[in-house]
Amino acid sequence: MIKEELLRSMNEAIVNGDRTAASALAGEAVRSGMDLIEVIEKGYVPGIQKVGELWEQGDYFLPELISSAEAMKAAMAVLEPELNRQKIEARTGGKVVIGTVEGDIHDIGKNLVASMLQAGGFEVFDLGADVKLERFVEKAEAVGARIICLSALLTTTMTNQKRLIGLLRDRGLRDKYKVLVGGAPASRKWADEIGADGYAENAVAAVKLARTMAGGD
């Protein structure tokens, strides 16, 4: 299959919630030596974005969303080991603790950011989704991370990004960590408002931002 066709098929596999096709196409991309960042950003991510639009228009319901989310995970399960193997840039950027905040189970975007950070040379400690705020701090302290990445997809849970910053401040740890926030409802304005160190709108931008943070102040 030519590249454009492959990217389009990836997109469709996610929209159709077809796990088998999603992972088979990912396998094909790996075998043919495609740029896997491009595969994720131009093949799979537009698919899940389209699913979001269909849900917003009332054309998709929860079962479709779940199938699409699973198809996305199936593709990432194939791509991730290869991304890690390639270590897109073999320089270690330091340690990052990442998770989706308490009360929020959305993890597709967070997983993408974690994979890209890992591929970008960071040592990533992924706490998963619906993570208690305490755990972010405990883990960061335990492993000696410099960066904490908080994902939130709900307007009701994004306030936990703010609470985490408050928690660090209360413990006298605020200056020890760079706190990066993201997820659909977050924005640069929100990051400024809550005193976060940075915001990025997608996984590629998140890696760039983390590099800047790791490199200096």
Judged by beta carbon, residue 25 or residue 182, the one nearer ligand B12 is 182
Q: How far is the CB of 200 from ligand B12 (least distance, A)?
A: 4
Judged by beta carbon, residue 2 or residue 57, the one nearer ligand B12 is 57
Judged by beta carbon, residue 7 or residue 200, the one nearer ligand B12 is 200
- Cα distance between the two ends of the chain: 45
Q: How far is the CB of 15 from ligand B12 (least distance, A)?
A: 11
Q: How far is the CB of 172 from ligand B12 (least distance, A)?
A: 23
Under 8 Å CB-to-CB from 99, ≥6 apart: which residues? 110, 126, 127, 128, 129, 131, 135, 136, 149, 150, 151
Contact 29, 79 (CB under 8 A): yes
Measured CA to CA, the distance from residue 90 to residue 87 in angstroms comes to 5
Binding stretches for ligand B12 (CB under 6 A): 45, 48, 51-52, 55-56, 62, 65-66, 69, 103-110, 112-113, 149-151, 153-156, 180-185, 200-203, 206
Judged by beta carbon, residue 6 or residue 45, the one nearer ligand B12 is 45
Q: How far is the CB of 134 from ligand B12 (least distance, A)?
A: 18
Judged by beta carbon, residue 33 or residue 58, the one nearer ligand B12 is 58
> Which of these, 41, 163, 49, 183, lies nearest to 110 by C-alpha position?
183
Q: How far is the CB of 205 from ligand B12 (least distance, A)?
A: 7
Burial (CB < 10 A; 0-12, 13-18, 19+), residue 15, is buried
Count CB atoms within 10 A of the CB of residue 52: 14
